[in-house]
Structure 1
Amino acid sequence: MKIIQTILLLLVSFTNPICHAGDWPQILGPYRNGHAAGETLAASWPSGGPEVKWQRPVGSGFAGLAVSQNTAVLFHRVGDQETVEALNAETGEVLWKQTAPVSYRGTFNPNDGPIAVPLIHNNQIYTFGIAGRLQCLDLKNGKVIWSRDTHKEFQVGEGYFGVGSTPIIVDDKLLVNVGGKRKHAGVVAFSLDRGFTQWQAMQDDASYSSPTSAFLHGRYYAIFITRLHLAGLDPKNGNVLFQFPFGKRGPTVNGADPVVVGNHVFATSSYGVGGFWGQIEQIGTREIWRSEKPMASQYTTPIEYDGKLIGIDGRQDIGTARLICFDPETRKVKWEENNFGYATLLEADNKLIIMKTDGTLVLAEASLETYKELASEQIFNSTTRALPALSNGLLYVRDGKTLKCLKLGADAPATPEKTTTN
């Protein structure tokens, strides 16, 4: 299993930002698949839960943090300002702050703050605000290098909840789920250094799913879920390499990210859409199955573990949600925890870190055989939607008012003193 994971991580790393050890520089971590690299976690927590290293108030928004080179980047809204803050990852000390005015008001949901996780690459930060402001900042001092008003330039509507898709870097381009259907700019590529438009493709609205990437058959694929499609694009020029219908018209959204498993891709959504399993072939890509069983997740991206998928089936707002592990080839459920509640997941050190939307943090074994909970603690007493970030044994979690830095890493064992024999 370790060998398979290593191969997959190496393939994914070809098209993702260069990371330092312990970094969590983008949505779902260094490889954009929910797996942490080189982390060693404690197998249990002390009474009262994990140690709180520091905490601080935050503004509105559901954007999780990104962490690189001991700098944690917080993206939130304070008053009428979309605010990016660089924090010392170990102490929470503010290193710099950059703000930009925003007038967005939530309609279907009262949230008016950013949803997309910041992206850190080569000492630059890329953020995508809730009203479509795309910008590049200097990681060291917060200076604005460039910015684009994508909603205005590409004639994008507000959508149900504003912008919620984190951009990705592939082939030295910033690829963004813009949603400029009227301008044939569903997906747009921007240059990293100046923010110039490189290409634009697809007549689609945006989704709340963040893209991923893969290196298969000797080429790069940028894999997007838009409002109504699952598509693979050539990052060099925007040519659509494959495309399948995915999603439904009406009051629905696509929120979970696509998951690459070998040369296969899995997508999931709720609202009567369900799951999709396809094979990416050198010439064409074929659909293998689509069904609401076993997984139809509202916005949680499942974790691939030794070829199987672990994630949430259900919705946060209606009905019940279960935690399941299943084989995407056969659709057979390996194990399930019914009435588990809605949650987001990460994996590190063969353990699952599960942040439930009711504010409960859970540590469990990453297993294909059974569900085994190792620890659980109520961290927040409010709805918690933001994705956690794990860096150097520290977990960064936030609800709508507070950001906490929790110690999850195992302390290194003491080195025994050397003895000499006379």
Structure 2
Amino acid sequence: MQANAPLAVVILWVASIATAADWPQWRGPHRDGFSLDTGLLQQWPKPGPALRWQARDIGDGYSSPTISRGRVFLQTTRGDREFTIALDEQTGKQLWSAPIGNVGPNKGPQYPGTRSTPTVDGDWLYCLSSDGTLACLATDSGTRRWQQQLKNDFAGKVGNWAYAESVLIDGEKLICTPGGAQATLLALNKNNGKPIWKSPIGESDHAEYASPVILDVGKSRQYVQFLSGGVVGVDAASGKFLWRYKSTAGVANIMTPVSIANRIFSSGSRTGGALLKIRSSGTAAVAEEVYLNRALSASIGGAVLLGKHLFGTTNNALFCAAFDTGQLLWSDRAVGAASICVADGRLYVRGHTSGDVLLVEPSQKDFRPRGRLKQPDRSKSRAWPHPVVANGGLFLRDQGVLLCYEVRQTAN
């Protein structure tokens, strides 16, 4: 036994580290819709890729999964309670389940249930329930490390459809959006949940449905978030409010901003897409509009930047645009309104109505589909959860079902 001990240690150590193609947070490793996976199918066979596994009766909800260290993490709803569950990445077998909070109230059209995607950081998992309960859990067991309540503890104010953001981890800080006058944006110590700073941006600024992103402008780091009153930037070190852009704000502000160098792309389903250039000088910063184009009205399905071209979906079509100028290069009905991600040089486009997934070769010239997957036994709910590609698997959430398809190339 003693002679085998070093080998056992090596095996355990390898199993405990994140793989290069994990998907540890909302919209992937860099929060931009890109998977780091390679060696994937560039064209799908006619029936679509093979099903690796499906997990049923996991509980309802609109959250997307995260994948880390051989486990799949997902937030889900049972009755009026919300939970985080962990599944084995290769088999879909449930490993543990832990309560995280309650279902937040919906006003108007009813879409109750969990929306946020859990964020993995090392051995810890950060989950936000739709009622505003923020919990830090151990990835191996679901044991709770700490908890905060954004609405009660920080006088949070949220929109008609409850809390929906996926919290951001940046170094030792956790960035979240309670909304309201006291702590519109909030930085917590990720290890104990204690406040580092509060950013009281405005009384009328409530939390909407986007998630914060990092923007580095020269030597200055900012956090950018889409609130009810528009897109805002705050200083990362202090939470100081820096700038606001209102023109893309609408009834429901959902799309997580696209961040690249000193530029931000923001969009609303009824307002259009805008490119902003952020100029920073000392402790001040301003946002300058480069363009606003109503044809680029990406929203719940997000947008991705491939080189100099932006791909996204409106409420009825997939589009490609020149990122620098906002010129619409082409638009195609494809699968209508859809959610989008990128992996190994291909777009994965999941229709909200049909649930069908298109594999698309990105081109500035025209729409180039390279395969179609028709999900069996579709629910009647909108397929709003974004597709996720990690470690050769395509993960699709459809309310109480999570499916994993094999999209890795195999040797002939």
One fold, TM greater than 0.5? yes
User: Counterpart of 2:152 in 1: which secondary structure?
Assistant: helix
Residue type at the aligned position of 1:34: G
User: Counterpart of 2:221 in 1: which secondary structure?
Assistant: strand
Aligned to 2:37: 38
Aligned to 1:241: 242
Aligned to 2:218: 217
Aligned counterpart for 1:189 among listed residues 187, 190, 203: 187
1:43 to partner: Cα distance = 2.1
**Mapped pair 1:106 → 2:106:** yes
1:409 to partner: Cα distance = 1.4
Cα deviation, 1:320-376, whole Å, max 9, x if unaligned, reads x11111013222122221464000111111100111112101101022222110001
Return the alpha-carbon distance in structure 2 between the equivalents of residues 129 and 189 of structure 1.
18
Contact 1:138 1:145 in 2 (8 A): yes
1:223 to partner: Cα distance = 1.2
User: Counterpart of 2:402 in 1: which secondary structure?
Assistant: strand
Contact 2:248 2:266 in 1 (8 A): no
- Give the direction of change, closer, same or farther, for the CA distance of 1:95–1:301 in structure 2 (3 Å limit): same
- Give the direction of change, closer, same or farther, for the CA distance of 1:19–1:230 in structure 2 (3 Å limit): farther
Contact 2:338 2:350 in 1 (8 A): yes
Aligned to 1:404: 403
Aligned to 1:378: 374
Question: Could you tell me the percent identity over the aligned residues?
Answer: 24
**Mapped pair 1:263 → 2:279:** no
Aligned to 2:357: 361
Contact 1:65 1:74 in 2 (8 A): yes
Aligned counterpart for 2:329 among listed residues 312, 331, 334: 334
**Mapped pair 1:390 → 2:389:** yes
Contact 1:61 1:400 in 2 (8 A): yes
Residue type at the aligned position of 2:210: S
Return the alpha-carbon distance in structure 1 between the equivalents of residues 136 and 64 of structure 2.
18
1:261 to partner: Cα distance = 2.8
Match runs of 1:52-71 below 5 Å: 52-57=51-56, 58-71=58-71
Residue type at the aligned position of 1:297: A
Contact 2:296 2:328 in 1 (8 A): no
- Give the direction of change, closer, same or farther, for the CA distance of 1:103–1:312 in structure 2 (3 Å limit): closer
1:295 to partner: Cα distance = 0.8
Aligned counterpart for 1:281 among listed residues 273, 279, 282: 279
Cα deviation, 1:115-172, whole Å, max 9, x if unaligned, reads 0111000210001111000010011111100011111122334521111111111242
1:280 to partner: Cα distance = 1.8
1:108 to partner: Cα distance = 2.5
1:260 to partner: Cα distance = 1.6
- Give the direction of change, closer, same or farther, for the CA distance of 1:288–1:248 in structure 2 (3 Å limit): closer
1:45 to partner: Cα distance = 2.6
Return the alpha-carbon distance in structure 2 between the equivalents of residues 274 and 128 of structure 1.
29
- Give the direction of change, closer, same or farther, for the CA distance of 1:408–1:281 in structure 2 (3 Å limit): same
- Which ranges of structure 2 fall in alignment gaps of 5 or more residues? 1-16
Greater Cα shift, 46-55 or 402-411: 46-55
- Give the direction of change, closer, same or farther, for the CA distance of 1:176–1:103 in structure 2 (3 Å limit): closer
Residue type at the aligned position of 2:83: T
Cα deviation, 1:10-64, whole Å, max 9, x if unaligned, reads xxxxxxxx96311100011011101111322112333432211111223221000
Return the alpha-carbon distance in structure 2 between the equivalents of residues 258 and 109 of structure 1.
25
Greater Cα shift, 141-150 or 379-388: 379-388
Q: Could you state the TM-score of these two structures normalised by the residue count of structure 1?
A: 0.86
Cα deviation, 1:204-258, whole Å, max 9, x if unaligned, reads 2111011111333023221111111212222211012332224557xx1110011
Return the alpha-carbon distance in structure 2 between the equivalents of residues 104 and 345 of structure 1.
27
Aligned to 1:8: none
Contact 1:60 1:111 in 2 (8 A): no
**Mapped pair 1:347 → 2:345:** no
Return the alpha-carbon distance in structure 1 between the equivalents of residues 245 and 295 of structure 2.
20
Return the alpha-carbon distance in structure 2 between the equivalents of residues 109 and 66 of structure 1.
28
Aligned to 1:11: none
- Which ranges of structure 1 fall in alignment gaps of 5 or more residues? 1-17, 316-320, 415-422
Q: Give the aligned CA root-mean-square deviation in angstroms.
A: 1.9
Contact 1:173 1:235 in 2 (8 A): no
Aligned to 2:5: none
User: Counterpart of 1:29 in 2: which secondary structure?
Assistant: coil
Return the alpha-carbon distance in structure 2 between the equivalents of residues 247 and 265 of structure 1.
12
Return the alpha-carbon distance in structure 2 between the equivalents of residues 116 and 177 of structure 1.
12
Residue type at the aligned position of 1:274: G
Contact 2:317 2:335 in 1 (8 A): yes
Contact 1:212 1:257 in 2 (8 A): yes
Paired positions, count: 385
Cα deviation, 1:268-311, whole Å, max 9, x if unaligned, reads 0023x222211122323342345342311232221001022100
User: Counterpart of 2:83 in 1: which secondary structure?
Assistant: strand
Contact 2:249 2:268 in 1 (8 A): no
1:385 to partner: Cα distance = 0.8
Greater Cα shift, 201-210 or 284-293: 284-293
Return the alpha-carbon distance in structure 2 between the equivalents of residues 245 and 401 of structure 1.
37
Residue type at the aligned position of 2:85: E
Residue type at the aligned position of 2:261: G
